[in-house]
Structure formats: C-alpha cells, structure tokens
Structure 1
Amino acid sequence: MSDWRNRVFCEDALAGMARIPDASVDLIIADPPYGLGKDYGNDSDKLDADAYLQWMQQWIDAALPKLKSNGSLYIFLTWRYSPEIFVMLKKRMTMINEIVWDRRVPSMGGSTRRFSSVHDTIGFFANARDYYFDLDAVRIPYDAETKKARSRSIFVGAKWLEIGYNPKDVWSVSRLHREHRERADHPTQKPLEIVTRMIKASCPPGGVVLDPFMGSGTTAVAARACGRDFTGFELNPDYCALIRSRLDALDAETAVSGIEQQEKLRASSAS
C-alpha cells in the first residue's frame, strides 16, 4: 500500500505490520510495554515473564524486516528484561550503544531492600557497518566559560570546540512530571528531547521512522518537527486521539510561526 507514511494505525502492531513494506524504514524507535503491569487501557503489559519475552520476540521478528539495510533501532527497556532482549537483538543486528536514561528522579525514600531504580535502559542497534549516523546534528554546544578556557592557540579553529561535543551514553533528561507543559495523559510518555536526538542522529532528512507502540505520539511529533516521515501503531483508541491532537497542535503552531516569520521579513524589507 502507498498510504502508510505519516499514518498512525489504531491497531495491534503484530496485526498491522504487513502494511509497512519491507526495507522501507530508516529508523525504528520502539517503546514497548516493560512487563511491569502498567495500565495502558488494556492488558498489553500484564504478561508473565515467559509470555512477555515470547511476545517481544514476535514483534521484533515482524518489525526488523521493515528496516533498510543501513537502518537502525532504538529500544526503551528496563533492567529487568534488557539482558534477554539485547541477546535477541544481537543475534540479528550489531549493538552500537547501551544508553542509560537518567530520569532525574528526586531522592524520596523508596525500597529499603535494594537501591532505588531511577533510569531506563536504551539499546541502540544497527543493521550494517554503514548505518546512518549524523553526529553533528546532535552535538551539545560548549558554554562560554569552557570556550574561554580553551582559548590557547592550539585550540583556535578546532571544529569540536565550535560545534560542540558528542553526547555521552548517559542522557540526563528529566522525566515528564505531572506539571510539565509537555506532559500528556499517558503513564510512560517519553520526552521529546530524547526522541528528537534519536531521530536527528539516526534518520536522514526526508527519511521514515517506524514506532510500533506510539503511545502518546512523541515519535510522530518529533519526526514531523524534524522534517521526517513517520508511521506506526497504537492499540488504545484514546491514545490514537491524543496523537492526532498533538500533531494538530504542532501543525497549528508551525503555521503561526510561519506567518510571523513572513511578517518579520516584510517589515524588514519595508524598512
């Protein structure tokens, strides 16, 4: 089918994955249920360990053929199942990074029988050695103080000093607390900052991002904002409506921004 791009299909990913042509997607960003019993308006996160790992294998088998030969995958996981799932993926792909997302959870008690878990694990995998990766698009600028401290002649003209440094494999980005302006009505919504970094680094402009578990639609919103196409699936009709509303809000914001820019250009030309 030709109308699968820039669509979120309100159906189970396993049932609908055949809609996506093989070898047509540049990047997969997957945020599957973690196997922790979260309430997503259905029983999708209420499997026992064996059934959960079997289901993970099923959707991975269905999704990976959709990737191009130089495509990549990011997958959000927790420490409970990441070892088993990483082994599944390493049989099919090359593991590039294990990324730790530090959710900046404040110290507020917790278990007295173990250390508090305050991070998510993200696996970054690629199909081939020539996988697409644009480091310059996600470099982090140095602050003025750091630049000043590197003012000696040996640093003059250094590209890394001018355009910034490579993000490390620990990403310290606050979780979306209830008062956060980006927060939608979804229990495990991921921050735009994280997903945008993945897309800019691992999907070429005009490329396609597949998200099998769209949830609140962060992947779709980030892809559209970055000039990439998206496609994906979401089982819960309420979340499908939420995704549509977030995309409509982004389109309206973009339209207003474009009008304001045109007005500024006209004013500048008149003066």
Structure 2
Amino acid sequence: MVEQFKDRSHTIYHGDALEILTKEINSESVDLIFIDPPYNIGKQFSNFYDKWESEQDYIKWAYQWLNECIRVLKPNGTLYVMTSTQAMPYFDIYLREKIVILSRIIWHYDSSGVQATKYYGSLYEPILHCVKDKNNYIFNSDDIKVEAKTGAQRKLIDYRKSIPTQYNTEKVPGNVWYFPRVRYRMKEYENHPSQKPESLIERIILASSNEGYSVLDPFAGTFTVAAIAKKLGRSSISIESQKEYLKIGLRRVLGWQEYQGEKLVSVPKNNTRSHKISQKLDIIQGNLFNGDSTA
C-alpha cells in the first residue's frame, strides 16, 4: 500500500521505492536525484534488514531502481548515487553504459575509535556524480567553493605568470570530501543507523540544482535531502518504506507536530560536556580540518 503526504513544494511517499518510482513518478520530471540505498551489509533499519541472499540478488535489485531513476531524470538532470565500496564497481560499470559519469567522489570521515585490526578498515564511501548530457547540465561552481590553503593560508606567489600573482584563496572542491559523520551529540542527529551529514547534502544540492528545481530521494531515511532542499528553496520528492522514518520526514519536511496521535519530536540530546573533553575534541577536529584534502 502506498501513502502520500504533501504540501505545495514537498511530497513524501510511504511505500516500496521501486514500486513508487515505477508507478508514481513521471518520466523526465526530476532535476536532481540523490540515491543513498541500503548497502547490503547487514544493518537493521527499523523493520528492514539490509542483507540480500547473495550479492547478485542485491545487484539485480539495484539495477531496477537505477533504471527507473534514469527514466525520471530530466535530459539536463544530475544523479548522485552511493553504495558500499564492495558494490560500487558493479554500479560504475553498469551506469557508464547508460549515463555519463562526470566524477567519482570519495566521502571520507574520521573513525569512531573502533577500527579493524587485521586489515585496513574503511573510512570512506564512494559517490558517483552522473548526468544524462555531458554538454547540458547544472554545476554551480561558485556556490560550493572552499578555502585553498596555498593561497589563503600560505600566501604563496605563482611566479610562472607574466606578473607574479598570489595563488587563489578559494577553489572548487576536488573529488575527495571530508565531512564528519553524524554523531549523537550533533544538532542534526536523528535515530537512524546511516544518516548522511547535512553539509555533504548541501554541497550536492547547491552544485547541481537551482532554486525552484526538484530533488528526488528514493531512500529517504532521515529525510536530510528533503530538509536541505527545503532550506535552499528547492522542491522535493521523498520515498521511505519504514514508518519509523516516515515520521521523521513528516516532522522535518512537512512540519507536522503529530501523526496518528503520536507527538513528533526530535531526538533529545545532552550537549553538556566537560571542559577537558571539549578541549580534546577541538584539537582533534582542528587537526582533521587542517588535513582536509578539499581545501
């Protein structure tokens, strides 16, 4: 059964992503799609267990919704898709035959402290940046510029030019992005096992859409994509199968305060921490950002 909730600019579907993509979304109707699907790595998402019987079963399922996303994307639209490091080669090879892959992005982050001891643990997730037409798509480079350390901090001079000039203080990010993972104490935290940072989503929406454009998220989860789309003046379409997460979307995107007699409130967070812990975290975060390869 498919349920729909909406206001003037934002639509939420409650149901199966593949079914809703196939039956509810018109062809060539969406400007930007961000896809953060289940990774097939055994996480529990409310009543859904993220594990297929085989890798091939997972890939077969993924190809179906990838095809549907390509169908609903406008001719000048942009698609971003994430998955596990293990599955991304399948996605990459499949998509390069159907769409243009402009960039292969690495989102890297810090460890929570527990890390592999018998091999090199994973500290990144891959993202494909794709378009239908390599000569006609949106990329607002000025809206996503970051600090260029060579010019802004080191103040080096480029003597190769006819008139020696200081290096630029800003630049467009490369394809390796550092954004901290969402942790419990963070203001944006929602009760979900794989929430993506608002800052990562904001970069994508700013870069690949304009105000008034439509953004589709087929696996909405914490509804961060729709929430940031709303903040930036875009419309959104979200799909979510789990009622527990649907309620997050009703609150974050549509502004509902109650659903079926239940008060909709964000997760309470204790933001109090000792002075010593604050100092230590500030040092760690400072070191991480100083080593940010996007700057």
Q: Is the 8 A contact 2:30 2:74 kept in 1?
A: yes
Are residue 13 (structure 1) and residue 17 (structure 2) matched?
yes
1:256 paired residue number: none
Are residue 28 (structure 1) and residue 38 (structure 2) matched?
no
Between the aligned partners of 1:91 and 1:204, the Cα distance in structure 2 is: 27
Between the aligned partners of 2:9 and 2:94, the Cα distance in structure 1 is: 28
| 1:166-188 deviation line (CA, Å, top 9, x unaligned) | 11111111101222221100000
Unaligned runs of 5+ in 1: 251-271
1:84 paired residue number: 90
Q: Which letter maps to 1:132?
A: I
- Secondary structure (helix, strand or coil) at the match of 2:44 reads coil
Q: Is the 8 A contact 1:33 1:44 kept in 2?
A: no
- Secondary structure (helix, strand or coil) at the match of 1:227 reads coil
TM-score normalised to structure 2 length: 0.76
1:264 paired residue number: none
Between the aligned partners of 2:254 and 2:99, the Cα distance in structure 1 is: 36
Select 1:119's aligned residue among 114, 124, 127: 124
- Secondary structure (helix, strand or coil) at the match of 1:29 reads strand
Are residue 187 (structure 1) and residue 197 (structure 2) matched?
no
1:227 paired residue number: 233
- Secondary structure (helix, strand or coil) at the match of 2:45 reads coil
Higher helix share: 1
2:242 paired residue number: 236
Q: Which letter maps to 2:16?
A: D
Q: Which letter maps to 2:216?
A: L
Select 1:199's aligned residue among 195, 201, 205: 205
- Secondary structure (helix, strand or coil) at the match of 1:183 reads coil
Report the alpha carbon displacement of residue 122 of structure 1 after superposing the two structures with TM. Answer: 0.7
| 1:59-83 deviation line (CA, Å, top 9, x unaligned) | 1111211111011111112211000
CA RMSD of aligned residues (A): 2.7
- Secondary structure (helix, strand or coil) at the match of 1:205 reads coil
Are residue 69 (structure 1) and residue 75 (structure 2) matched?
yes
Q: Is the 8 A contact 1:101 1:122 kept in 2?
A: yes
Select 1:155's aligned residue among 165, 189, 193: 165
Report the alpha carbon displacement of residue 118 of structure 1 after superposing the two structures with TM. Answer: 0.9
Q: Which letter maps to 2:48?
A: D
Q: Is the 8 A contact 1:86 1:123 kept in 2?
A: yes
| 1:182-202 deviation line (CA, Å, top 9, x unaligned) | 110000000000011000000
Between the aligned partners of 1:123 and 1:33, the Cα distance in structure 2 is: 16
- Secondary structure (helix, strand or coil) at the match of 2:78 reads strand
Q: Which letter maps to 1:155?
A: T
| 1:46-69 deviation line (CA, Å, top 9, x unaligned) | 212111001001111112111110
Report the alpha carbon displacement of residue 108 of structure 1 after superposing the two structures with TM. Answer: 3.8
- Secondary structure (helix, strand or coil) at the match of 1:22 reads coil
Report the alpha carbon displacement of residue 39 of structure 1 after superposing the two structures with TM. Answer: 0.6
- Secondary structure (helix, strand or coil) at the match of 1:39 reads strand
Q: Which letter maps to 2:204?
A: M
Paired-residue identity, %: 27
2:272 paired residue number: none
Between the aligned partners of 1:91 and 1:173, the Cα distance in structure 2 is: 30
Q: Is the 8 A contact 2:30 2:215 kept in 1?
A: yes
Report the alpha carbon displacement of residue 150 of structure 1 after superposing the two structures with TM. Answer: 5.2
Over 3 Å counting, the alpha-carbon distance change for 1:14 and 1:5 in structure 2 is: farther
- Secondary structure (helix, strand or coil) at the match of 2:226 reads helix
Report the alpha carbon displacement of residue 3 of structure 1 after superposing the two structures with TM. Answer: 7.8
Are residue 43 (structure 1) and residue 48 (structure 2) matched?
yes
Q: Is the 8 A contact 1:176 1:190 kept in 2?
A: yes
Q: Is the 8 A contact 2:182 2:188 kept in 1?
A: yes
Q: Which letter maps to 2:137?
A: Y
Higher strand share: 2
Report the alpha carbon displacement of residue 103 of structure 1 after superposing the two structures with TM. Answer: 1.6
| 1:75-98 deviation line (CA, Å, top 9, x unaligned) | 112211000111111111111111
Between the aligned partners of 1:4 and 1:49, the Cα distance in structure 2 is: 40
Q: Is the 8 A contact 2:106 2:175 kept in 1?
A: yes
Unaligned runs of 5+ in 2: 1-5, 257-295
Over 3 Å counting, the alpha-carbon distance change for 1:124 and 1:41 in structure 2 is: same
